[in-house]
Structure 1
Amino acid sequence: MKKIGLIPKLIAAIIIGILLGAFAPTFVVQVLATFNHIFGNFLGFAIPLIILGFVVSGIADLGAGAGKMLGITTVIAYASTLIAGLFAYIVSYNFFPAFITKTSELTNAVNPEEKLLASLFKLEMPPLMPVMTALILAFLLGLGIASLKGKSEVLYTASVEFQKIMEKTISNVIVPLLPFHIMGIFANMTHAGEVGRVLSVFWKVFLIVIAMHLIIIFFQFLVACTIGKKNLFQCLKNQIPGYLTAIGTQSSAATIPVNLQCAEKNGVSKGIREFVVPLCATIHLSGSTITLTACAIAVMMLNNIPFTLPQMMGFIAMLGVTMVAAPGVPGGAVMAALGILQTMLGFTEAQLALMIALYITQDSFGTACNVSGDNAIAIIVDAIQGKNKAETKEAAVE
C-alpha cells in the first residue's frame, strides 16, 4: 500500500465509497459515518496546532534572513498569490454557475448535510483554542522570534521542532487515514442520493483549474520576461523540466534542484537563483491559491452558500499567510487552509472533506504552477538587483 500514491488511493476510496453507499446495509454506512465523526473531530483539534506549527516557524525563517532582497522577493511572491487568487475568483464566479446550477438543481434543495446518516456515537475533541486565536498567536510568536533571532535560539528551536511534530502528525496519521475519511463521506453521500451531482461537477472544475494554472504561468513569465528583457517562449521552454518534475513529485521542495537548473538556463545569476528559488518554494503558492479558491467556490455553489468578493479576497489574503511553510506532504496546503475555510467561509466537516478530495486530486498541477512561478519571480528579482547594482556603480563613478 505504501508504494501506491495518494491520488490513486483517493480515487479508489471514492469508487469504493460509492459502491458501499449504493449496495451496503445502512449499518455499514453508519460505521463509516462514525469513523468520519471521530476523524473529523481529531482534524478540528489538530487544525489550530497545524497553524501554530507551520506559520510560526515560517514567519520566523522569513525574518531571520532580513534584507532588501528578502523584502522584494516576499512582496512579489505575495502579490503574485493575490493576483492568482483574484483571477481564480473571477473565472470561477463567471464559469462555474453555467454547469453547477444546471446539474445540482439547488433552487429548492435542503441542506445536503441534513440527509447524511449520523454516527453511532459522539466523541468530542474540543480544540485547545479557536482558529483565529491560533492565527494571531502564530503571527505574534513568528514576528517575535524573528526579531530575537541571533539573541535567543530557544523559541526558534522550539518552533522548528513543533513544526516537525505536526509534520509527522500529518504524514503518519492524517494523510494515511484520508482515503478512509473520503470513502466514508462518499458512501454517506451516495446513501443520501447526493453523490451524482457532486461528481458531475468534479471533472469540470478540474479542467478549468488546470487551464487557469497554465494561463497564470504564461502571465507570470510574460511580466518577468518583459521586466528582465528575456525571450518569453525560450524561458517557458526552459521551465518544462521543472513543471513536469513537480507533477511527478507533488513537492516544491523536491523540485528545487531541477528548478535551479531551469533558472540557470533562463540566465538568472547564481546568487539570486540560489536565494529566490528555495525561498519561493516556501512562500509562493499561486497554483495552490488558484486550486483552493476555485474548489472553495465550487463547494459553496454545490451547497447553495452565498459569498461575496470582499469575503473571498479576505480568504485569499489569509491563504497567502497560512500556507507559508505548508507541510512538505501531498495536500499540505489544504491542511494549512482548513482553519480559514471553517472560520471565514463557514465550511462544515463534510464540506472540508470535499475540499480535501478536490484539492488533492489536483495537487500535483498546483505544485507545478507554484514552482514555475518561482522562476518567473527569480527573473524579476534578478532584473531589479541588476538595475540597483548598475545605479550604484554610476553613483560611485559620479
Structure 2
Amino acid sequence: MQRFGLLLRIIIAIALGIVIGIIANDWLIRLFATLNDIFGGFLSFIIPLIIIGFIAPGIGYMGKGAGKLLSITALIAYTSTIFAGIIAFITASNLYPAILNGQSLTMFNDPSSALLGGFLDFELHPPFEVVTALILAFVLGIGMAALKNNALLNVFNDFRSIVELVISKAIIPLLPFHIFGIFANMTHAGQVASILQVFAVVFVMIILLHILYLILQYSFAGALNKQNPFQMLKTMLPAYFTALGTQSSAATIPVTLEQTKKLKVKDNIAGFTIPLLANIHLSGSTITLLSCATAVLFLQGESITFGTIFPFLLVLGVTMIAAPGVPGGAVMASIGLLESMLGFSPTMVSLMIALYLAQDSLGTACNVTGDGAIASITDSINNRWHITKK
C-alpha cells in the first residue's frame, strides 16, 4: 500500500502543479525551477553511484556459483528483456505518429515558449561520467565473480544498500515535489495539455503490449512443455495481482514460486530460477521504459532510429540488473543512459520519471508473471539436456 501512496502523491503533485501553473506569477515559477535545478543536480551526482551500486554486485552475485543452468536462465531472461524492448520500440515508433499526431512540446525547440529558469545557476558535478561508471561496474563485477572470496563483494553489497537508502529515503520522497515543479512550469508555458493526452495514450498502449507479450512468452513456454498457454497464464494470475499491489518483484517471490510449481516446473528448478529472475528478468519494465522514452522523444519532435535505440537497449538490459526494490528502481538505473545515449535533458528526464512511475506497478506485474514462463522454458531445456541430475 505504501507503493500506491507514492503513485497517489505523484498524481496529486501533477494536479497541484497544473493549478499552480495557471495562477502563479513568473517569480513563483522561477522559485520552483530553482528547487528543481538543485534536485536535478543532486540526481546527476548520484547517477554514477547508482550504476556502480547496482551493476557491480549484481554481476558479482550472478558469477558466484555460475553454472550451465544459471547461464542458460540468465541468457533467456536477457533475451526476453531485449526482445520486449524491441517490440515496444517498433510498436511505439509506428503508432505514435498516428495516435499522437499534432502533439509536441515546443518548450524543447521553441525559445519563445521555453520553461522559466531558476534564480541560481546551480551545477553539481558527478564524480565521473556515466560511461566511466558503466565500464568500472563491469570490470568490478566480473572481477568479484572471479575472486575466490566474498570480501569485496560484501563491501559492494553494503554500498548498494547505501545507494538504495539514498533512493528510498531522499530521491523517491522528493520526486513528487520535483514533478510538481516541472508541471507547474509546463502549465505556465502552455504545454500541459499535450502531456496529459500523451499520458493517456501511452498508458493504454503499454497495457496492451504487456498482455500481448505475456501471451507470446507463454505460447512459447506452452509449446515446449505441451501445455495450454492461456491455462498457464491463468495459473500465474495470483502472482500478477500480488505484484500489482506490492509493486515489487522481490516481495512477490513466494507467490510467484508457488504458482510456478503449479506449471509442472520441478521444485528445484523453480526454487533456483524464480529468485534469480526477480532481479534479472525485466521485460515488462523494459516495455514501459521504451514506450515512455519514445513518447518523450516524439514530443520533442525528434525521430529516433533502431540503430540508435538498439545499443541503448543492450546496455539497458544489463544496467537494470538487481535494480533496487523501491518504486521506479528501473527508471532510476536508466537515467544515466537516457542522458548519455539518447540525449535526454533534465526536463525530459523528469517527464520520463513521471510517465514511468505512473505505470510502474503494471511493468512489475508483467515482469513477475513472465518469470513463470522463463522458469518453465528452463525446466524444459533441463529435461531435454539433463543439465541437472535431479
What TM-score range do you get, normalising by the shorter chain?
over 0.9
Deviations 1:301-334 (A, max 9, x none): 0011231101111111111000000011010000
Q: Does the 8 Å CA contact 2:72/2:378 hold for their aligned counterparts? A: yes
Cross-structure match for 1:40: 40
Q: Does the 8 Å CA contact 1:111/1:303 hold for their aligned counterparts? A: no
Read off the aligned partner of 2:242 and give its amino acid letter: T
Matched, 1:174 2:171: yes
Deviations 1:32-89 (A, max 9, x none): 1001000000000000000000000100011012101001001100110111011001
Matched, 1:203 2:167: no
Cross-structure match for 1:71: 71
Read off the aligned partner of 2:365 and give its amino acid letter: A
Aligned partners of 1:385 and 1:25: how far apart in 2? 65
Cross-structure match for 2:5: 5
The CA deviation at 1:25 is: 2.1
Read off the aligned partner of 2:251 and give its amino acid letter: A
Identity of aligned residues (%): 50
- SS state at 1:252 partner: coil
Cross-structure match for 2:114: 115
Change (3 A) 1:307 1:113: farther
Change (3 A) 1:359 1:35: same
Cross-structure match for 2:20: 20
The CA deviation at 1:230 is: 1.6
- SS state at 1:182 partner: helix
Of 346, 357, 362, 1:349 maps to 346
Cross-structure match for 1:49: 49
The CA deviation at 1:113 is: 9.8
Aligned partners of 2:335 and 2:389: how far apart in 1? 46
Read off the aligned partner of 2:379 and give its amino acid letter: D
Aligned partners of 1:191 and 1:70: how far apart in 2? 52
RMSD of aligned alpha carbons: 2.0
Read off the aligned partner of 1:24 and give its amino acid letter: A
* 5+ residue gaps, structure 1: 394-398
The CA deviation at 1:109 is: 8.3
Read off the aligned partner of 1:385 and give its amino acid letter: N
Cross-structure match for 1:124: 123
Cross-structure match for 2:189: 192
Aligned partners of 1:3 and 1:338: how far apart in 2? 21
Aligned partners of 1:17 and 1:294: how far apart in 2? 24
Cross-structure match for 1:273: 270
- SS state at 1:101 partner: coil
TM-score, normalization: structure 1? 0.95
Aligned partners of 1:306 and 1:58: how far apart in 2? 34
Read off the aligned partner of 2:187 and give its amino acid letter: T
Aligned partners of 2:289 and 2:160: how far apart in 1? 23
Cross-structure match for 2:317: 320
Cross-structure match for 2:101: 101
Deviations 1:77-129 (A, max 9, x none): 011011101100111011111132323386x9834796101111122210000
Read off the aligned partner of 2:131 and give its amino acid letter: M
Cross-structure match for 2:137: 138
Cross-structure match for 2:377: 380
- SS state at 2:62 partner: helix
Matched, 1:248 2:245: yes
- SS state at 2:250 partner: helix
Change (3 A) 1:113 1:294: farther
Change (3 A) 1:245 1:4: closer
Read off the aligned partner of 2:127 and give its amino acid letter: L
Read off the aligned partner of 1:342 and give its amino acid letter: E
Aligned partners of 1:344 and 1:167: how far apart in 2? 24
Q: Does the 8 Å CA contact 2:3/2:247 hold for their aligned counterparts? A: no
Aligned partners of 2:75 and 2:31: how far apart in 1? 48
Cross-structure match for 1:396: none
Of 260, 272, 276, 1:263 maps to 260
Read off the aligned partner of 1:122 and give its amino acid letter: D
Q: Does the 8 Å CA contact 1:17/1:184 hold for their aligned counterparts? A: yes
Q: Does the 8 Å CA contact 2:105/2:299 hold for their aligned counterparts? A: no
Q: Does the 8 Å CA contact 1:112/1:303 hold for their aligned counterparts? A: no
Deviations 1:268-292 (A, max 9, x none): 1000001101100000000011000
More displaced 10-residue stretch of structure 1: 90-99 or 159-168: 90-99
Aligned partners of 1:263 and 1:136: how far apart in 2? 36
Matched, 1:295 2:292: yes
Aligned partners of 2:67 and 2:100: how far apart in 1? 47
Of 202, 226, 235, 1:229 maps to 226
Cross-structure match for 1:365: 362
Change (3 A) 1:2 1:328: closer
Aligned partners of 2:325 and 2:236: how far apart in 1? 22
Residues paired across the two proteins, number = 390
The CA deviation at 1:351 is: 0.3
* 5+ residue gaps, structure 2: none
TM-score, normalization: structure 2? 0.96
Aligned partners of 1:77 and 1:216: how far apart in 2? 14
